[in-house]
Structure 1
Amino acid sequence: MEASKINSTAFPSSSATASAGVQLLEGTGFTQRWGIAVIILIVSSVVYHRLFTSAPLKPLPPGPKALPIIGNLHQHPTELQWKQYKAWHNQYGPLISLKLAGFNVIIIGSHKVANDLLDKRGLIYSTRPRMIYANECMTNGLQPGLQPYNDNWKRLHRIETVFLNPTALKSYSKFHELESCSLVHNLLTVGDDCSDIITKFTQGVAFTLALGKRMSPENEPEFLELGEFALRKSTGFHWAAFLVDIFPSMNCLPAPLAPWKRLGKQMFDEEIHLMGGVVKAALATGNWSWSEELMRQKEKEGISWNQVCYIVGELMFGAYLSSNATMHLLITTATLFPECIRKAQAQLDEVVGTDRLPSVADEDQLPYIVAFINETLRWRPVAPLGMLHAVSKDDEYMGYRIPKNSVIVTNQWGLERDDEVHKDPEAFRPERWIENPDLPLAGFGFGRRKCPGNKFSQRSLYMGLSRCLWAYDILPPAGFDRKAELLNIASKGGTFPSLAPPTKAVFKIRSPKHREVIKQSWLNIDRDENQMFADIGAKI
């Protein structure tokens, strides 16, 4: 109470000051009219000072004209957003802004802007926007990739990096060799629908490392259930989940009126059940695994059981989803550009020969294979909008204002069509990566939130594609419409990796010698997975 009295005495309100001023003026002979005139003059001078002597706010980046309240919602497409964003980039420049209800959305459309903001100013561009359904309802704030940039995220990121750093990646080589050998062996007897075989390959290494055991006929349903859940989690968003992110006040509604809350809880409970089963099954094997290592670190790192489940899930599903979408895309792309495949096979024949399969050790000598993968990721990014960022404080760039808490979208479709970086961007030309190995690639993100599993995914793609191209001519199926397929694969994706469509291609063995090498390689390959796990555990 005394403090309140002191403050009100020391700092009287503006109304109290004005009243006292009138009384003082009247008491010295001024009329009330003159007193009011003087006060108006004082107030006017204050307003003038604030309006005309303070620095004016810089404008937001340009963009389509917004309406009151809804902003640009009426102009925002519900599909193929990245193409409309690219059209706006062409009209307004590499940095544009939208208003979606009450949110400022800043969209990046060039590699230079992405590098300047997300890499060089990563300290303030590394957090995530509030995602009510995905981060709060569906994952209870436990999904590391969705968490804001803070000390907890840094700790979880450090834990995940242990399993994905160069030392760890090297220790996984035998499993990459084993799963890719299984891939080309299974393709010997496949028809033109190769989707299931490709999916099993892309699940293989990550699921094996999480579970402490490889897929077998006995546990195949378990692997397939996990893969189905991963796809459903990344693509099965309720329509209301998007509305509540745009209008956060809707989250105050009770659960019966908020379907995103019910669906989010169902997904959370299902993930804890599934991933809890993965961790328990991994511990029961007695082998080293991601799950076993995390449980050993649990007390030291101070992480909960549920957090362990979500870390294992992010490692598994992150590796699987990105690799699965891209591997299917690589096979489809191979059917579209046979001249590129002939160049890749010529290099494989020169470096590897016909007496053995390509190996991890050959990667540096097979630049065209790596270039083909990079060009596919550039030409048709599997997540064309990337992961959302947010800016944690007010910023300025290119003379424009970027307000605190703005949602930052990296339009990867637009970035990879930045003709300042990629000449003739619509052309599929792997040679560009050989001519300039330092070309930037947006597919794995930027700055401090760059995907920690990018090297793991690239290794899986290299092993799968190099062995498929060594062994087979990949041909289009009967009735193939090249123009329709080009359009089809340009219409997939979003923020998360796109759901891979059924991939159809004819795998024609290149020679009887290649067939025999595949059979002998599969017959003789090291399958002692218990020893492989022990070797990994000794190195990590």
Structure 2
Amino acid sequence: MVLGLAVLDIVLPLLVLGWLVVRVLRIGSRSACLPPGPPTVPVLGNAHMFPQELPHLKLTEWAHEYGDIYSLKLGPSTMVVVSNPRITNDLMIQRSATTSGRQSMQLVNDITGGLTLPVMPYGRLFRDFRRAMRDMLSREACVQHLPIQIAESKQLMYDLMKAPHHIRHHAQRYSASVVLAVAFGLRAPRYSNSLVSEFFETYRAFENILVPGSAPPIDHFPILNHIPERFAVWKRRSREIREGQRRLWFKLADICQQRLDEHRPSGCFLESVLKKKDRYELDHEQIAYLGGNLMEGGSDTTSVFMETFISLMVQYPEVQKRAQEEIDAVVGNSRSPIYADFESLPYLQAVIKEVHRFHPTAPVTIPHVATADERVGDYTIPKDSLILVNMWAIYRDEESFDHPETFDPDRFLKSEFGTKEGADDTGRRHDIVFGCGRRICPGMELALNSLKINTMNLLWAFDMHPPIDPNTGERAPFRPTDVTHGLLLTQEIYQCDIQPRSRAHADIIKADYAAARDVFVSFEKELSEDERRFVAEW
């Protein structure tokens, strides 16, 4: 009896230890119900092989190997990658009621207090934020924003003519100033020492810490949260970013509140929300972050598209020339384009669609989370799985597109989605570049108007070429592989030779900018003295 108890005392702990070892080793393994994917290793799964830079390229390589839907194991978590428009439409749009969740990203929540819409869980606060944004950003409401967008585009042309070597800052000033005007009744007449530069400094810090590899994967390995701040650089950076965000968001909200208190409203969006905060069920902090969400969502993506557009016009001069000829035939050279001209420019419309296809601003979407089990063919996507749509793979599919690695706007003149004859277009949508289902970008209409206005203006006004090498006198080759490695895919275009197409064009650019001053005045009441001097001198 005693011997039996002694054996049990030895065997039972060994059995428990063995069970624990098996359980631990099974972490990261792929269950049979999941779509196929790369081989896993115990505990990590595929986390050790997830790409840290330009992830869309490796994800597309895996799509070629494992199919239009495959899975990755990130520790105990599951990520399903979709690279097919039909599956995307079925899963992310038709079944958006159960595929619109977001992963709880602790790093983001630590910085924003859970008040960032793109990663906010689907629920009451998410719906309140979206409802408020719809009032400002619906197609009908965006018609009212056209005057400031058009006026800001006139300054963009003027800025490029006067300082052609600062393309990125000019594009960022344009996009951020439009949002400042619409959301806060303000504008930024320059990039440096302004709300625009303050915003982009804060936003870049936020974006950089979210890039894979910048911080440990604390969502997948929560034990890392217990590391003290003095040993955790990411915790210190998170605190600094949070302080910078709150300083800027509350400053902008307080300006709007002060106008209301002094009975001098500008009629901007945030004033409307402040007056109706009970209807929207939002407190002052949430309203401040609502404005911050508008800045983040509306500033960066638009400026990145414009930089990419310019870079592609530089790389493909024959496309630039043909688009200019079409615009000249409609607009002429005695005036600049007006918004209504866009409908008469089918080739330019095709160019914009091809830019989205060839170089999508967000080549992979922010992952959604399944809030219930879902089936796709023979596979099960378990509840709480991450679902990532690989836009890059969808737009570079050789079975759907002739020569997908070639920039060719003509493909969109031949078929609605640019696909080749006989291709299966089931599920294809033009607005997929703005997101999926209930997570589609609420500022899509405002962004589309900016793209229409500025692509017309840039092509009408400027010739865009590679720079001249001072040593050889020849045009330097443009390097299309020079891209940034942040959350958005940005083409580097610092060395672009951009010049007015003629003296007549330059004169019209100057006259248009002077006329735009009438629109700007109502948005410049809170300019600093230094900014007022800049406006007078510029």
TM interval, shorter chain, is 0.7 to 0.9
- For normalisation by structure 2, the TM-score amounts to 0.82
**In the alignment, what sits opposite 2:274?**
295
**In the alignment, what sits opposite 1:456?**
446
Report the CA distance between 1:192 and its aligned residue: 3.8
**In the alignment, what sits opposite 2:75?**
101
C-alpha contact (below 8 Å) 1:387/1:409 kept by paired residues: yes
1:485 aligns with 2:482: no
Tell me: CA distance 1:453–1:326, structure 2 relative to 1, closer, same or farther (3 Å). same
C-alpha contact (below 8 Å) 2:100/2:438 kept by paired residues: yes
C-alpha contact (below 8 Å) 1:194/1:504 kept by paired residues: no
1:47-446 correspondence runs (5 A): 59-134=33-108, 136-216=109-189, 220-237=193-210, 239=213, 241-284=215-258, 286-438=265-417, 440-441=429-430, 442-446=432-436
Matched letter for residue 437 of structure 1: E
Tell me: CA distance 1:499–1:280, structure 2 relative to 1, closer, same or farther (3 Å). farther
Gaps of at least 5 residues in structure 1 are: 1-56, 534-540
- For normalisation by structure 1, the TM-score amounts to 0.82
**In the alignment, what sits opposite 1:504?**
495
SS at match of 1:98: strand
Report the CA distance between 1:529 and its aligned residue: 4.3
- Bigger drift between 432-441 and 306-315 goes to 432-441
**In the alignment, what sits opposite 1:53?**
none
Matched letter for residue 374 of structure 1: K
Tell me: CA distance 1:261–1:477, structure 2 relative to 1, closer, same or farther (3 Å). same
Report the CA distance between 1:367 and its aligned residue: 2.4
Report the CA distance between 1:524 and its aligned residue: 2.8
- Bigger drift between 228-237 and 358-367 goes to 228-237
Report the CA distance between 1:261 and its aligned residue: 3.8
SS at match of 2:343: helix
Report the CA distance between 1:190 and its aligned residue: 2.5
C-alpha contact (below 8 Å) 2:181/2:523 kept by paired residues: no
C-alpha contact (below 8 Å) 1:71/1:100 kept by paired residues: yes
Matched letter for residue 78 of structure 1: Q
Report the CA distance between 1:347 and its aligned residue: 1.1
Tell me: CA distance 1:453–1:345, structure 2 relative to 1, closer, same or farther (3 Å). same
Report the CA distance between 1:525 and its aligned residue: 3.5
Matched letter for residue 240 of structure 2: Q
Tell me: CA distance 1:400–1:152, structure 2 relative to 1, closer, same or farther (3 Å). same
CA distance in 1, matches of 2:230, 2:298: 36
- Bigger drift between 511-520 and 351-360 goes to 511-520
CA distance in 1, matches of 2:117, 2:90: 25
Tell me: CA distance 1:218–1:111, structure 2 relative to 1, closer, same or farther (3 Å). closer
C-alpha contact (below 8 Å) 1:212/1:288 kept by paired residues: yes
C-alpha contact (below 8 Å) 2:172/2:300 kept by paired residues: no
Report the CA distance between 1:191 and its aligned residue: 4.0
- Bigger drift between 472-481 and 174-183 goes to 472-481
SS at match of 1:508: strand
C-alpha contact (below 8 Å) 1:210/1:282 kept by paired residues: no
Residue identity over aligned pairs, in percent, reads: 27
CA distance in 2, matches of 1:367, 1:218: 33
Tell me: CA distance 1:501–1:302, structure 2 relative to 1, closer, same or farther (3 Å). same
SS at match of 1:246: coil
CA distance in 2, matches of 1:220, 1:254: 36
Tell me: CA distance 1:240–1:501, structure 2 relative to 1, closer, same or farther (3 Å). closer
Q: RMSD value over aligned CA atoms?
A: 2.4
Report the CA distance between 1:428 and its aligned residue: 0.6
Matched letter for residue 311 of structure 2: T
Matched letter for residue 279 of structure 2: K
CA distance in 1, matches of 2:154, 2:254: 29
CA distance in 2, matches of 1:531, 1:201: 17
Asked which structure has the greater CA Rg, the reply is 1
